[in-house]
Amino acid sequence: MLFDALRATRPTHGSADCFTSSAAMLSSLLLSKSAKWRQRKSFEDGERLKVSLYRTPDLTKTLQWLLPARVNEVVGVCHLKAFVFDDDVLMTGANMSSSYFTDRQDRYIWFRNSPSLANHFSSLIDVVSSYSFSLGSDEKLLPKKVFDTKDRDGFCAQMGSSVQGLMDAPPAEVNTAEKEKENEEDWDTFCFPTIQMGPLGIRQDEDCTVALLKGLPSGTLLQLASPYFNLTPDYEDVLLEVAEQNIVEILTASPKANGFYGSAGISGLIPRAYSLLEQNLYERSRHRDVALQGKDSYDLKNGLSIYEYERSGWTFHAKGLWCTLPGDIHGPSVTLVGSSNFGYRSRDRDLEAQVFLMTSNPRLRGQLKFERDALFSRAVKVNSSSFLDAERAGGYVAAKASQMVRSWL
């Protein structure tokens, strides 16, 4: 089991649980000598359970002293969301706190009987775990000898080399149904995993995403979801460029569906900051539309639109991308699923992983269409009046402040 150290040790004040943090719960229920699973006679002695907690090397002692719990997570976290069960992989952007099982909208895709994909994510978890702390039965974080967190550059170089080695390694041989079809023509669905670890200099996911967007044929319907609207300038520029010849729809959380809505202190201002960044792209898009209207190639149906998800009592955390080719009625033939929010933190600070899925299978595309339509069915299209709401008001100073801190959001 691999978790982020800062999030796992974050105090859970006010929680109905009797544990002070996720790490405390794991230590008590799973790692302690009195854990119930240890009482089963069928289990032999040995290390049957490992819990690793990754902590970003960018959290210096000074920042650790200055930043309180939860706020310190802006420096960077292990944001990977992948579950491996034998030869099955469950990809999602969701965490495992109670809200994700009750009233927080997210996505899940289950890749069944995919040993190559399972091997990849199992290896990725092993590599990151080897550069993480071990959680002890007394809730202590035990450092591993393989790295020195005091040497930030050396740590990043060593870990980056290990992850790059995983990416460069050829897929392991599997004697399963994967080998039954010898020719590519026999397959109707392909998928490949990508990794983004900015602190380590690994930007595979960003490169693949940009290449996909730039390679779309004219007339494609491109839909992108990100709960925290903070797209990097590179992504914004590419999306605006793609929107000249395609339909681009972005789905994000409304302020009330943002997970920080109603939070106490500085966290309560975060939904307003995201709204201001959203407004900035909306205005850029409108200005671009006006500039393009004089061109012969301009098509009114193309362009970039923003939608906001809002559902009473729910928050929005879904992320991903869907591509539907021109004139196709069966649904998206490409989707991305994983942990990336396509923002600054995903690009530069956090550890991320996604899966690119491409298919011509009508049934699977119908399922992707159903998933996408269900998300957009609870969304409202943004217009200029959307940003006049009192909860979004910020003025010149707030707009500038949001730009200054956006690399931390």
Residue-wise pLDDT tens digits, 363-373: 999 999 999 99
State yes or no: is 58 an active-site residue. Answer: no
Find the helix packing angle between 204-214 and 233-242, rounded to 10°.
20
pLDDT of 206 higher than 90: yes
Catalytic residue among 4, 81, 106, 256: 81
User: Between 365 and 177, where is the model more confident?
Assistant: 365
Active-site residue, selected from the candidate residues 79, 120, 256, 317: 79
Question: 353, 339 in Cβ contact below 8 A?
Answer: yes
Length of the chain counted residue by residue: 409
Instruction: Write down the pLDDT at residue 145.
Output: 66
Whether 249 contacts 332, CB under 8 Å: no
Whether 287 is catalytic: no
Say what the pTM is.
Answer: 0.92
- pLDDT tens, 90-131? 999 999 989 999 999 999 999 999 999 999 999 999 999 999
Separation of alpha carbons 317 and 306, rounded Å: 16
Note if 153 is an active site residue.
no
d(CA 116, CA 191): 10
* pLDDT tens digit sequence for 210-266: 999 999 999 999 999 999 999 999 999 999 999 999 999 999 999 999 988 877 777
Q: Cβ distance 80 to 339 under 8 Å? A: yes
* 290 CB-contact burial (10 Å; exposed 0-12 / middle 13-18 / buried 19+): exposed
Task: Please state, rounded to an integer, the average pLDDT across all residues of the chain.
Answer: 89
Q: What single letter denotes the amino acid at residue 285?
A: S
Tens of pLDDT, residue by residue over 276-329, are 999 999 999 999 888 887 676 666 778 999 999 999 999 999 999 999 999 999
Q: Are strands 334-338 and 2-4 parallel, antiparallel or unpaired?
A: unpaired
Question: Looking at 36, 45, 86, 179, which residue is catalytic?
Answer: 86
Is the pLDDT at 178 greater than 60? The verdict is: no
- Where exactly are the structural domains of the chain? 2-11+24-29+49-171+184-407
CATH superfamily placement of domain 2-11+24-29+49-171+184-407: Endonuclease Chain A (3.30.870.10)
The amino acid at 329: I
